[in-house]
Every structure is written in structure tokens, then in C-alpha cells.
Amino acid sequence: MNAENLRIGDYVHIHFLKNTTTEQAKVENINIENNTIILVNQRKDIIKIDTEDKWEQIKPIPLDESVLKQFGYKDSIKTVYGLVNKNVYEKVYIFKDRSPILVTLIYEDGVFKLVQSDDEAFYGCKTKPSFQDLHIFQHYLSDNMYINNI
């Protein structure tokens, strides 16, 4: 992983080698030219990542049920479109103009897939793309749904 793979607002894991702990941190600043990022952890500590050995400690956060719940997604088993009895994770985002958008993910084949309506699809929806890492999901939400704050 390097600065080019990340954006401000992304969440990553820091694996501390000295005490073998892992914690979550948010990217607050990026300098791609110097391959440097500034992270802030949950205790509000500022952590500068600017050397190869520090970059080796930065890992993507695997997208899983606990991460989705941490960011406000609700889970249930239900039918979505014609997809019967799936593990479904949903969250409603409200834009500044107060219009809502529902983001629906299903867990299938070991990955989370975004459910999107598609009138031409057999069940009236499509289930792509799929996500394994939180920051990649964040990028998709930002680029395609204009959601910048997970």
C-alpha cells in the first residue's frame, strides 16, 4: 500500500510491530510526491507515515460484518428484489438537500456485493461490484454515489 492507493477520509489498519497490536486510523492528509500520509487514530493521536518501514505497518481493513455495523449498517436476512434470504446490510444516507439514498450490500461467495437496481436484469437488480477492503468500498461510494463520509 502507498499514498497513491489512499484518499483523505479512508480508514486503514496500523499494525504496530513492537507490541503486535492493530488499530484503526483515518487518513487526514496525503502527499503523493513524498509518499507520505497523516493518520489520526481513535485516541486522536497524529501518526505520520513517511518511511518504508512505517508503510509496511499500514494494511487495508477487511470489509466484514463488524466493520459495516461500526459505520451504521444494519443487518438482516431477507429477500432483496428476487434474491431470496440473503444476508443483507443496509444504510440510508441523507444528502444536503435532504434526499435519501439506500445503500444495500449482500454477503455472497465470501465478498460483499453492492445491490443496484437494473431493469434489464433477471431479478430487477445487479450485484456488482464486490468489495473485500473498506477503503475500496469508500472509493466506490465517493466516485459513483457521491457519498464521501461512510
Q: Identify the three-state secondary structure at position 128.
A: coil
Last residue of a domain, one of 12, 33, 60: 60
- Kindly state whether residues 25 and 55 are assigned to the same domain: yes
Is residue 110 a part of any domain in this protein? yes
> For position 102, what pLDDT does the model report?
82
Is residue 123 a part of any domain in this protein? yes
> For position 80, what pLDDT does the model report?
62
Last residue of a domain, one of 28, 44, 60: 60
> For position 111, what pLDDT does the model report?
86
> For position 79, what pLDDT does the model report?
58
- Cβ atoms of 39 and 31 closer than 8 Å: no
Q: What is the pLDDT along the chain (150 residues), one digit of tens a residue?
A: 899 999 999 999 999 877 788 999 999 999 999 999 999 999 999 999 999 999 999 999 999 999 999 999 998 776 565 655 568 888 989 988 888 888 888 888 888 988 876 556 555 566 678 899 999 999 999 998 888 888
> For position 123, what pLDDT does the model report?
55
Is residue 150 a part of any domain in this protein? no
- Kindly state whether residues 54 and 72 are assigned to the same domain: no
Model-level pTM? 0.84
**Beta bridge partner(s), residue 87:** 77, 107
- Kindly state whether residues 37 and 84 are assigned to the same domain: no
- Kindly state whether residues 69 and 99 are assigned to the same domain: yes
Domain hosting 73: range is 65-145
In which element (H, E) is residue 74 found? strand 74-80
- Kindly state whether residues 116 and 93 are assigned to the same domain: yes
Is residue 133 a part of any domain in this protein? yes
Is residue 7 a part of any domain in this protein? yes
- Kindly state whether residues 69 and 127 are assigned to the same domain: yes
Report the C-alpha gap between 12 and 26 in whole angstroms.
6
> For position 86, what pLDDT does the model report?
67
Last residue of a domain, one of 44, 60, 76: 60
- For the chain, helix (H) and strand (E) counts, in that order, are 3, 12
- Cβ atoms of 90 and 100 closer than 8 Å: no
Q: Closest Cα partner for 149 from 90, 95, 81, 97?
A: 95
- Cβ atoms of 136 and 114 closer than 8 Å: no
Q: Give how many domains the chain has, as a whole number.
A: 2
- Kindly state whether residues 56 and 76 are assigned to the same domain: no
> For position 78, what pLDDT does the model report?
66
Instruction: DSSP for 29-49, please give it.
Output: EEETTTTEEEEEETT--EEEE
Q: Indicate which CATH number applies to the domain containing 31.
A: 2.30.30.140
CA 8 to chain centroid, in Å, comes to 13
Rg (CA), the chain: 17
